[in-house]
Amino acid sequence: METMNEGRAAVAAAAVAPVLAAGLGALSPTPAHACACGCYLFDVGTASMYPSDTGLMVFAEEDVLDQNRNWSGTGSSPAAANPDKRIHSEFFTVGAEYQVDRRWGVQVEVPYWNREFRTTADDASSVDFTHAALGDVRIRGIYTGFSDDLSTGLTFGVKLPTGDSSYPNFDPDTEIGSGSTDLLLGGYHLGALGRDGEWRYFAQVQWDRPLAHKASYLPGDETVVALGAYYNGWQLTDAVKIAPILQLDGSVRGRDGGVGGDPYNTGYSRLFVLPGLQANVGRLSIYADTGFLLYANVVGQQLVARHTFRVNLSYHF
């Protein structure tokens, strides 16, 4: 996934940090798996994910991920080494967070994905498949009772298998839904750099562990860490505040398992740097960033994205 008081402004800024092609049915792709380095964006560092006060907050977010470069190990690999050529994904997420009191809250995220998959058919021609569907819903509890300003918290919850994991032209690691029920555990902390409080920092970690899954496919575990800093001193008017943010997002994902998994071409570690900007207008927060790939180390042959894009709107009642 702020009012103009410092706690809310800090939290919002900190985050900153979601159809079978006609006529191609007969041209089924080769049996090779769709090897993709992270077909989704883990929701860390989003403004809406940090509680700032009691009450209700709602948010909407759009993320774009274009995986168009083949990769092996820590460097680029020839496109001919991978039958899959491109995975272009748009993630649309809506959600709500309700902070019951200074200790406990709950959060729900409902994603909708639109994905285009380009691969190689048996006759060596290029084919495209596009599919849009509901993604896997996430429900989390939030504990923020460590300090009065809610600057430190723990999250715990589940990812439900609500996403479509049966589209025939996608492989298991490319499907919109993983088909698994996952345990979600995480934590975060916000703090000041210096005594004046104009520079602030944030840190967040999340762990995704599949618990129940299809007999044929077991997604790998994933751990994601976000570290960032932002300037909190640009007050344009009484109602408008601007905060530039710079953050690093790193993730490590294990290899897939099961007869439908491909342990030889799944699993990776990667690091993105994300410059962004947060604007607080009264109770409304608007955030946007773009990510640049700094490092990727993948198993086998996989498609990676060198850039990411995100826009997030949140409103605190």
Contact 161, 181 (CB under 8 A): yes
For residue 28, how far is the Cα from the chain centroid?
30
Residue type, 238: D
What is the structure's pLDDT at 29?
36
Classify strands 222-231 and 152-159 as parallel, antiparallel or unpaired. Answer: unpaired
What is the structure's pLDDT at 43?
60
What is the structure's pLDDT at 238?
81
Contact 11, 287 (CB under 8 A): no
Number of Cα atoms under 13 Å in the Cβ half of residue 23: 0
* Per-residue pLDDT tens digits for 162-179: 999 999 999 899 999 999
For residue 222, how far is the Cα from the chain centroid?
11
Band (51; pLDDT cuts 50, 70, 90): confident
* Per-residue pLDDT tens digits for 3-44: 334 444 343 333 333 332 333 232 333 334 545 666 666 565
Give the number of other CB atoms < 10 A from CB of residue 303.
26
Question: Residue 224: which of 46, 89, 75 has the closest Cα?
Answer: 46
Query: Residue 278 is inside which H or E element, if any?
Result: strand 268-281
pLDDT of residue 96 exceeding 90, the answer is: yes
* Per-residue pLDDT tens digits for 240-263: 999 999 999 999 999 999 998 999
Walk me through the domains of the chain, giving residue ranges and CATH numbers: 6-316 (2.40.128.130)
Which residues on neighbouring strands pair with residue 242, listed in sequence order?
234, 279
Classify strands 222-231 and 234-235 as parallel, antiparallel or unpaired. Answer: unpaired
Q: What is the total residue count of the chain?
A: 317
Hey, CA dihedral for 164, 170, 176, 180, is it positive or negative? positive
* Higher-confidence position of 272 and 48: 272
Residue type, 51: P
Residue type, 264: Y
What is the structure's pLDDT at 50?
77
* Per-residue pLDDT tens digits for 123-165: 888 999 999 999 999 999 999 999 888 889 999 999 999 999 9
pTM: 0.85
Band (122; pLDDT cuts 50, 70, 90): confident
Contact 104, 144 (CB under 8 A): yes
- Based on its alpha-carbon atoms, the radius of gyration of the chain, rounded to whole angstroms, reads 20
Contact 38, 66 (CB under 8 A): no
